[in-house]
């Protein structure tokens, strides 16, 4: 049984999507292969799959042989055709995800190693920030193979010993994964390493060598080195970074075989700069990260796991120093600049003073904003301005709360639909929305109903080919045509409203009848829940104002709903007729253009006159230069990515004092 398809997984089967694909393949009994350009590899090995280098929009064939071959091919093809397959918020495999799921660019890498005028070393600027601290050299001894030739009987016993070592490493990683102290991002990284520790290629190739008479430690070292070299030789920074992962997992298996523990980072002093040839993501994720002041490494690049962990914990890091890192072994103090990739050992007094001053300025800036986190900003007349968070998944709640969000002004439900291979059930949605409502109660959480179109397909919804998907069958238009998708979401929202302050808003509205039809469906859903004896509560209904049509009929819309939320991202592109994704017309795509600002003002006026709340959830809501204008127009809610909340609150407080 085989089927071909074009891969739609965003950026192809690298890292996480590959390991997810493998896990799915392993859930079937059948032998499964994936074929690209005539080359077939087992779909049950992430290493092989990653090395096959399957990219987005390439044609592949999935081939299965066994009792469940039909199901396997169908499921794997479905996965390959889903653009968001394998994507998680804590995507930990090279591409760091921001709070809203967008890719966060790593600090620009400067891979050339050179002497600098100040006598320092320059490497890859992998995690921004400046640090000065005592040097903590971490150079665990290299594991040397024993180079013993085994008899066939010894080889069998060695295979068993090897199996136990692999299980011990897996168990240790499982224990770390089960621990509560592990940050979400680090969990993803350890999970990826855990997958490698169970990989058919790594384990299978080492076993083959042992069977041929090589002792287990030598077999693991050779296999890991060979695979690392393969990962290192492909032209893909994500895959290059996996070379370090394979070596790290190989080392753990060797240590287990030798009955040794790795050198621990437990004793690292507060604020110390960790200097290492290579520090496995595995070691780093278990290290007391709060005590680490900075990281300097011979290995690693901007997309390696060390870089991702460092960035997500705010630890400045310079990686990729190569063999020169051993020059730092005897240093007593290190100054490093994670923005430029510069490392200075035992800095002279004036150099150190310069670094310390930069640290002080950064701390001051952070603290200055921190004090606004818990502020409730008000207008001069005392009206509270709600500064809320835009989020797309429950995993982002903690960050939003920590940033001082006064509720959620936009919960994008698309992720929920895009991250699964099937449409999410009503129960699953109800649980998600209820958890969100509970987390922020009594603050409101504004959940936006599914806003999806042909540009971001979802498994389970057939979209027609469209010339202009942004002007096509999307958002509320699609939902009204598909009550089988829309009603379960509305029912889930009604059920969740029992648990907190749930508000619901409709995206892409351009006509009054769309709101009326949605209300009829909501009534129908409420009737069915009553009939079925299911608890629910009514929610406030609002609309997003993101089409020029909605702006022009805002006075009529205001009579139908309880609030407006201005979606400036789309409103700008539709008012200016400038595609928000097309950089060539980027200059036109400017929210501050008088035409867009006039549209915002018209909306605000209609809302204020009708006595309903007017908020904003487009990117512009976070702009300190525009916030005064928005408040003047009458907006009382601004929703943004959590990282911008303190700055926005500060701006509002300043305004009320002016």
- Which residues are designated catalytic? 305, 617
Are 134 and 352 in contact by the 8 Å Cβ rule? The answer is: no
Backbone angles phi, psi at 563, to 5 degrees: -160, 160
Of residues 534-553, which lie at the interface with Mg ion (CB under 5 A)?
Answer: 546
Judging by beta carbons within 10 Å of its beta carbon (0-12, 13-18, 19+), is residue 274 exposed, middle or buried? buried
Alpha-carbon distance of 319 to 107, in angstroms, equals: 12
Of residues 91-150, which lie at the interface with ligand PEP (CB under 6 A)?
Answer: none
Give exposure, 139-151, as e/b (b: 16+ Cβ within 10 Å). ebeebeeeeeebe
| Residue 569 found at the interface with ligand PEP (CB under 6 A) | yes
Of residues 218-257, which lie at the interface with ligand PEP (CB under 6 A)?
Answer: none
| Residue 618 found at the interface with ligand PEP (CB under 6 A) | yes
Q: Please identify, using beta-carbon distances, which residue of 343 and 600 lies nearer to ligand PEP.
A: 600
| Residue 155 found at the interface with ligand PEP (CB under 6 A) | no
| Residue 474 found at the interface with ligand PEP (CB under 6 A) | no
Q: Please identify, using beta-carbon distances, which residue of 136 and 411 lies nearer to ligand PEP.
A: 411
Question: Which residue, among 410, 367, 405, has the nearest Cα to 543 in the 3D structure?
Answer: 410
Q: How many residues at the interface with ligand PEP, by CB under 6 A? A: 10
Alpha-carbon distance of 508 to 548, in angstroms, equals: 10
Among the listed residues 567, 607, 615, 642, the single contact to Mg ion using CB under 5 A = 567
Residues 6+ apart with CB under 8 A from 44: 22, 25, 26, 32, 200
| Residue 410 found at the interface with ligand PEP (CB under 6 A) | yes
| Residue 280 found at the interface with Mg ion (CB under 5 A) | no
Continuous H helices in 336-425 = 349-370, 397-402, 414-418
| Closest separation in Å from C-beta 344 to ligand PEP | 43
Q: Please identify, using beta-carbon distances, which residue of 188 and 567 lies nearer to ligand PEP.
A: 567
Alpha-carbon distance of 647 to 627, in angstroms, equals: 11
Interaction mask 354-393, ligand PEP, x per CB under 6 A:
----------------------------------------
Judging by beta carbons within 10 Å of its beta carbon (0-12, 13-18, 19+), is residue 98 exposed, middle or buried? middle
Alpha-carbon distance of 155 to 387, in angstroms, equals: 65
Interaction mask 570-609, Mg ion, x per CB under 5 A:
x---------------------------------------
Q: Please identify, using beta-carbon distances, which residue of 493 and 640 lies nearer to ligand PEP.
A: 640
Among the listed residues 546, 564, 597, 614, the single contact to ligand PEP using CB under 6 A = 546
| Closest separation in Å from C-beta 416 to ligand PEP | 14
Among the listed residues 223, 510, 568, 646, the single contact to ligand PEP using CB under 6 A = 568
Question: Which region, judged by CB under 6 A, interacts with ligand PEP, from 17-25, 371-379, 561-569, 607-615?
Answer: 561-569
Match 């204020």 to its residue by tokens: 608
Among the listed residues 412, 474, 503, 650, the single contact to ligand PEP using CB under 6 A = 412
| Residue 475 found at the interface with Mg ion (CB under 5 A) | no
Backbone angles phi, psi at 40, to 5 degrees: -110, 135
Q: Per-residue DSSP letters for 426-457?
A: HHHHHHHHHHHHHHHTTSEEEEEPP---TTS-
Q: Please identify, using beta-carbon distances, which residue of 283 and 546 lies nearer to ligand PEP.
A: 546
Are 262 and 283 in contact by the 8 Å Cβ rule? The answer is: yes
Structure-token pair, residue 643 = 């990282």
Binding site for Mg ion (CB under 5 A): 546, 567, 570
Binding site for ligand PEP (CB under 6 A): 410, 412, 451, 546, 567-570, 617-618
């Amino acid at each position: 049984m085989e089927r071909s398809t074009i891969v739609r997984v965003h950026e192809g089967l690298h890292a996480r999507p590959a390991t997810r694909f493998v896990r799915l393949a392993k859930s079937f009994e059948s032998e499964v292969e994936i074929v690209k350009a005539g080359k077939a590899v087992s779909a049950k090995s992430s290493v092989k799959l990653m090395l096959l280098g399957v990219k987005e929009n390439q044609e592949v064939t999935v081939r299965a042989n066994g009792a469940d071959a039909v199901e396997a091919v169908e499921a794997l093809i479905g996965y390959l055709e889903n653009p968001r397959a394998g994507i998680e918020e804590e995507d930990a495999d090279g591409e760091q995800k921001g709070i809203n799921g967008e890719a966060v660019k790593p600090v620009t890498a400067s891979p050339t190693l050179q002497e600098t005028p100040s006598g320092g070393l320059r490497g890859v600027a992998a995690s921004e920030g400046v640090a000065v601290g005592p040097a903590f050299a971490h150079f665990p001894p290299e594991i040397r193979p024993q180079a013993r030739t085994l008899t066939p009987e010894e080889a069998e016993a060695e295979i068993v010993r090897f199996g136990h070592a692999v299980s011990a490493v897996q168990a240790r990683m499982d224990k770390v994964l089960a621990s509560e102290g592990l940050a979400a991002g680090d969990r993803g990284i350890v999970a990826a390493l855990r997958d490698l520790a169970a990989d058919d290629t790594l384990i299978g190739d080492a076993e083959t060598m042992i069977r041929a008479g090589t002792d287990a430690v030598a077999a693991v070292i050779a296999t890991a080195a060979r695979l690392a070299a393969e990962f290192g030789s492909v032209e893909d920074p994500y895959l290059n970074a996996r070379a370090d992962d394979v070596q790290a997992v190989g080392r753990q298996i060797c240590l287990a075989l030798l009955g040794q523990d790795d050198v621990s980072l437990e004793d690292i002093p507060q604020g110390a700069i960790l200097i290492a040839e290579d520090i496995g993501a595995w070691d780093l994720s278990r290290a007391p990260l709060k005590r680490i002041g900075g990281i300097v490494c011979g290995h690693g690049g901007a997309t390696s796991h060390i870089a991702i962990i460092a960035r997500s914990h705010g630890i400045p890091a310079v990686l990729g120093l190569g063999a020169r890192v051993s020059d730092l072994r005897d240093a007593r103090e290190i100054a490093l600049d994670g923005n430029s990739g510069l490392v200075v050992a035992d800095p002279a007094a004036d150099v150190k003073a310069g670094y310390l001053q930069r640290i002080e300025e950064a701390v001051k800036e952070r603290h200055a904003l921190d004090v606004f986190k818990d502020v409730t900003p008000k207008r001069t007349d005392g009206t509270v301005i709600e500064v809320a968070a835009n989020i797309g998944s429950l995993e982002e709640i903690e960050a939003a709360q920590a940033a001082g969000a006064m509720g959620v002004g936009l919960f994008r439900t698309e992720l929920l639909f895009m991250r699964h291979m099937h449409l999410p059930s009503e129960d699953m949605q109800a649980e998600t929305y209820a958890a969100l409502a509970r987390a922020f109660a009594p603050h409101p959480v504004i959940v936006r109903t599914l806003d999806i179109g042909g540009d971001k397909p979802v498994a389970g919804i057939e979209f027609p080919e469209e010339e202009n998907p942004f002007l096509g069958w999307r958002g509320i238009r699609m939902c009204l045509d598909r009550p089988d998708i829309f009603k379960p979401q509305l029912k889930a929202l009604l059920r969740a409203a029992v648990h907190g302050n749930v508000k619901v808003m409709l995206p892409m509205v351009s006509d009054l009848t769309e709101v009326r039809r949605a209300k009829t469906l909501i009534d129908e859903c409420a009737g069915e829940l009553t009939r079925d004896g299911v608890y629910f509560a009514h929610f406030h209904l609002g609309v997003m104002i993101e089409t020029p049509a909605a702006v022009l009929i805002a006075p009529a819309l205001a009579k139908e709903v309880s609030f407006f939320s201005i979606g400036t991202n789309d409103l700008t592109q539709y008012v200016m007729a400038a595609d928000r994704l097309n950089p060539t017309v980027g200059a036109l795509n400017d929210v501050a253009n008088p035409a867009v600002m006039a549209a915002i003002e018209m909306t605000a006026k209609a809302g204020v006159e009708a006595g309903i709340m007017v908020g904003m959830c487009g990117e512009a809501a976070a702009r300190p230069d525009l916030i005064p204008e928005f408040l003047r127009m009458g907006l009382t809610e601004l929703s943004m990515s959590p990282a911008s909340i303190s700055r926005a609150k500060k701006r509002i407080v300043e305004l009320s004092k002016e």
